[in-house]
Structure 1
């Protein structure tokens, strides 16, 4: 086997041996840990005899690791070849082989939960066959380098997880390369410094593809650079593969931790120079909401979620805040890149958790740019995706490059793709190397063109202002309006016919409780009160129309006064007898015009309209802001609704990024005359075809 595709197909075909005892979606439970074991087996093959000889003299892993050249070794007498010599005891010998590894490898196999699979394979007479087939493939580094091995792992995972939930996304390699390019663009001088030590973090690291690509890119720029990677992953199997990959590359596998980033930060206090992440899209964090909200409340900005919490149905912006919390707060600072779907751009109204998180990020000048990717790039979803790039060290020195301080760049790369010859799940498009380079250049140039737009950060902020209109009602006691009283909740709740009938049937039973009897009595009282109210009103029907609420309330008290109604019930009665009337008097409350909630509206005042008196802290409602809102209201609203007013107490700050709006190109519709001509041409063609059909029928004698 000389190429990547042949190796993948060979390993994939081994999975066919599992058909029957295993369902297809569980093939990976065997094939992935076996591929990892075979890789370790090949890595240690050259030093196997020397390690066994030395292990008889001394049991010190450091010495044995020095022999292997890796941070692990195996002191078992077995390897894949020797396991095949004893088919009858292959299960126990395989366990002995795994026990012979150093603790770091044993922990990896435990997270695969592979011991259970050994038993199942042995019980179904498959273990020998699977080991025999894997022994045929040489995964020694001389044959398969670390990068290609990473590709093999990721392709196997992709194939085994094609039926995964939409939120769980294996990240295509070209998307990772683009993210890395965008993240490191303009960083070349720093990364090529002699003795450079670079820290990289991915706290939803999956199998470690992003960490691997970051390491490779930095090493390509500076072969002598030292790259320290840190990761956290919640899925034990993905964690095991990632840790295997890190070990094989000679990096510190202890920096990869297993666990939930939201509830158990495995890298508390860590800061990295670069962060990169593709968290699951639109995944609920409801199960962890208690811990997250407690951290937000108790620690604020001393914790990870100080900017706020989004709705529990989507944890994307929690992942982003977690990643931001790992940024270095020094002169160099940090840069991070993260992949999202469209939701974090605009979900959430002004004042919502999502909006407040966007507001904190943008007002603190952390958002550097967003790149819109083509659709159908991911294997399990075809939705639109976006790469966010953030930095806490935006350039403000022209000599160092384009000045990005207080600016946000949007890049539309949705047309940068090629159709794949064969679709892989939902993935029908791919980004070529040339297109990756072009997108990176567009972003790095920081110039406006058809694909790139640059804005002041205030462009995405706005004030949401509540506009009220007066409540104006007329009142009349007619049969039609009396029926409307039933639509008032307070009146309607006095009596529930269904509940009354249910309790009445049970009332004669011996076990009928006093509590239920009390409820039945209350319903009967409610029914009686309803009937009294309706009877009084029907006795006083009239064509008289009242246009003043206070006047009508006095008249209604004359009719219902002796019934001693509660205020809420009295209100329900007169509301049921009302109708909106622009010619009626204002309904007053506390000496002020009462607003009509059904006519309430909201205005959006964008910060790009240069809101005066804009208070960055929003701790108080500043007078300058109020004056600006008033000016906007007088100019844009009052001419159309003269009786409206602004409820200044409500004003909210909002932030959203309506990405597609900035790249929308209006296409003028064809004139109706041209459309009419085209329709007439089509009709003429149809008539001609019909005529030919009829002539053909006549000539054939039909």
Structure 2
């Protein structure tokens, strides 16, 4: 029986009907996910099964025959058992033992995947509940060969299943994966300036995701590169904290012929599983707003003990949100610019843009990436784009190999209005990017231009069209009686435009008689003492002279004030919304009065109608 990608997850989900009563809802995934992976591997190996069995020599050690068999399969794994899932169904009485024998016939890397699923315990429990045959039968004749269900569709199925299991378990649904269209956008942004280089025959590039999940970002990037250059190859690497997601990712990478030793299990922040390795490209969607208290000791030790020689030298964000730690981790994986450099894309919520004042960990991290000219662009996505949250999200693109035109500059793109409504919501996800939206955002980034989103309305106020118009280009015509609204959609700034100095403004302490109190000793002797109650701070843009600002903005209101220069701190923030705010003048009083009169007249008529 073959299955289309559209109905496959529903078909697999029907296995839950068999499990109900013997398994808790939160345990369904422990059964369905490993059986799905098993059948997928079963189907992938089927065409080469006979050749593998013929080449297999039981007397030879695995390290000898392993390389022979992997050449036969054309993949990085094999199975030496004469059985497969359909054959297992022919011996119901010995199904448990035969299933175990079949799994043990896989090469060591695959066996490790099923050990992480704790598959032997799952099989034993199904056997005791007299469900093993019924469940295995559901999968045995399901066609999951890549010719029927390609890798992209299979990845979507795995993610959809995990999302459903997370929802019924009251876990954070969507924690382990990213919407496919968001990944396509990020991959397009990473590759847009490198298309010519990537089309060179035999091109080999490396890609890394420190929050790999089930491998969605890695897979989409691989597919995108192959669409540009079928002869190119991406070497994929990643790390994942969730064991089930890691196992699925490893299985997917096996099928793609990747070296699965590069897919590491563990906490990326506390134990870097790929220490010392650098990459051409990197992608990540770290969890939003997740605290790092459990690994605080290890993080602080690296920060304080290694400084900039470690990953977290620039600073540490507050413990309640560790997303900027992933950004710092990715920066540590950049190839040196002299070796070709790197480009990375990371999804963050709004907090990393502005949380924390001058001198805070967040501000110091922003200062590091901006003063080192690493930020190429920040793109605002629409709300309601992710499965587990409706908040605003932003894609940051960073690189240590900026082209000349981008050096010293940052592009901000407001793509929050680029969306279409989904036919059916998935958790908190109600909106999606169309291919046209992705192409438009990628074009804005690739062209590195300032532009406006122009919306045209007809005489009745209905939207008649919208288009992105580069600055200086002719605006679209307005129909008779209609109007046109223009809002910035892409703006370019200098790095220092986001920096400021926080100065401390002091006022003198006065005694009961109003006289200024002077210091009696030390360096403050004879100088006015500061009144802590009157102390204030001012943020002065880096582009402005501090003294000129002070004389213009402070002294006219407080002639006795002075700056304590020892307390001055440099900070950075990206007030994204402020840069795209468009002032709309309020309606005229006459128009408001006319509306009120119409409303009161209508209410008066209704009251008269009731009393008649």
- SS for the counterpart of 2:591 is helix
Tell me if structure 2 keeps the 8 A contact 1:167–1:281: no
Tell me if structure 2 keeps the 8 A contact 1:351–1:654: yes
Who is 1:694 aligned against?
611
Who is 1:424 aligned against?
426
Q: How does 1:213-252 map to 2 (within 5 A)?
A: 213-252=220-259
Who is 1:279 aligned against?
286
- Pair 1:588 & 2:537 matched: no
Task: Give the CA deviation at 1:310.
Answer: 1.0
In proportion to residue count, which structure has more helix?
1
**What is the TM-score with the length of structure 2 in the denominator?**
0.89
- Pair 1:376 & 2:376 matched: no
- Looking at structure 2, the residues matched to 687 and 632 of structure 1 have their Cα atoms a distance apart, in angstroms, of 57
- SS for the counterpart of 2:336 is coil
Of 150, 159, 163, the residue aligned with 1:145 is 150
Q: How does 1:555-634 map to 2 (within 5 A)?
A: 584-590=514-520, 591-609=526-544, 628-634=545-551
- Looking at structure 1, the residues matched to 226 and 358 of structure 2 have their Cα atoms a distance apart, in angstroms, of 44
Would you identify which runs of 4 or more consecutive aligned residues in structure 1 move more than 6 Å?
none
Who is 2:213 aligned against?
206
- Pair 1:182 & 2:189 matched: yes
CA offsets 1:75-95 (integer angstroms, 9 cap, x no match) = 223321222223233223222
- Pair 1:13 & 2:18 matched: no
- Looking at structure 1, the residues matched to 221 and 551 of structure 2 have their Cα atoms a distance apart, in angstroms, of 55
Greater mean alpha carbon deviation, residues 86-95 or residues 102-111: 86-95
- Pair 1:457 & 2:374 matched: no
- SS for the counterpart of 1:305 is coil
- Looking at structure 2, the residues matched to 50 and 179 of structure 1 have their Cα atoms a distance apart, in angstroms, of 41
Q: How does 1:21-32 map to 2 (within 5 A)?
A: 21-32=22-33
Who is 1:304 aligned against?
311
Task: Give the CA deviation at 1:159.
Answer: 2.4
- Looking at structure 1, the residues matched to 185 and 130 of structure 2 have their Cα atoms a distance apart, in angstroms, of 46
Task: Give the CA deviation at 1:667.
Answer: 1.4
- Looking at structure 1, the residues matched to 8 and 439 of structure 2 have their Cα atoms a distance apart, in angstroms, of 29
- Looking at structure 1, the residues matched to 407 and 34 of structure 2 have their Cα atoms a distance apart, in angstroms, of 48
Larger radius of gyration: 1
Who is 1:667 aligned against?
584
Who is 2:116 aligned against?
111
CA offsets 1:33-82 (integer angstroms, 9 cap, x no match) = 11000011111222323333432455411112222222111122332122
Task: Give the CA deviation at 1:251.
Answer: 1.2
- Looking at structure 1, the residues matched to 10 and 353 of structure 2 have their Cα atoms a distance apart, in angstroms, of 40
- SS for the counterpart of 1:589 is coil
- Looking at structure 2, the residues matched to 326 and 382 of structure 1 have their Cα atoms a distance apart, in angstroms, of 30
Of 484, 489, 509, the residue aligned with 1:471 is 509
- Looking at structure 2, the residues matched to 236 and 144 of structure 1 have their Cα atoms a distance apart, in angstroms, of 24
- SS for the counterpart of 1:47 is helix
Who is 1:414 aligned against?
416
Who is 1:330 aligned against?
337
- Looking at structure 2, the residues matched to 78 and 678 of structure 1 have their Cα atoms a distance apart, in angstroms, of 79
CA offsets 1:557-601 (integer angstroms, 9 cap, x no match) = xxxxxxxxxxxxxxxxxxxxxxxxxxx222333333222222211
Who is 2:45 aligned against?
44
- Looking at structure 2, the residues matched to 77 and 362 of structure 1 have their Cα atoms a distance apart, in angstroms, of 59
Tell me if structure 1 keeps the 8 A contact 2:205–2:280: yes
Task: Give the CA deviation at 1:167.
Answer: 8.4
Who is 2:458 aligned against?
none
- SS for the counterpart of 1:186 is helix
Give the number of equivalent residue pairs: 563
- Looking at structure 2, the residues matched to 182 and 9 of structure 1 have their Cα atoms a distance apart, in angstroms, of 33
Tell me if structure 1 keeps the 8 A contact 2:174–2:386: no
Tell me if structure 2 keeps the 8 A contact 1:356–1:655: yes
CA offsets 1:159-190 (integer angstroms, 9 cap, x no match) = 22234327825200000000000111111111
- Looking at structure 2, the residues matched to 691 and 93 of structure 1 have their Cα atoms a distance apart, in angstroms, of 86
- Pair 1:165 & 2:172 matched: yes
- SS for the counterpart of 1:605 is strand
Task: Give the CA deviation at 1:2.
Answer: 5.4
Tell me if structure 1 keeps the 8 A contact 2:13–2:161: yes
Task: Could you tell me which runs of 5 or more consecutive residues in structure 2 were left unpaired when the two chains were aligned.
Answer: 453-488, 521-525
Of 61, 75, 82, the residue aligned with 1:77 is 82
- Looking at structure 2, the residues matched to 303 and 74 of structure 1 have their Cα atoms a distance apart, in angstroms, of 42
- Looking at structure 1, the residues matched to 267 and 390 of structure 2 have their Cα atoms a distance apart, in angstroms, of 27
**What is the TM-score with the length of structure 1 in the denominator?**
0.78
Tell me if structure 2 keeps the 8 A contact 1:164–1:380: no
Task: Give the CA deviation at 1:663.
Answer: 0.4
Task: Could you tell me which runs of 5 or more consecutive residues in structure 1 were left unpaired when the two chains were aligned.
Answer: 397-402, 475-546, 548-583, 610-627, 696-702
- Looking at structure 1, the residues matched to 132 and 533 of structure 2 have their Cα atoms a distance apart, in angstroms, of 71
Tell me if structure 1 keeps the 8 A contact 2:176–2:213: no
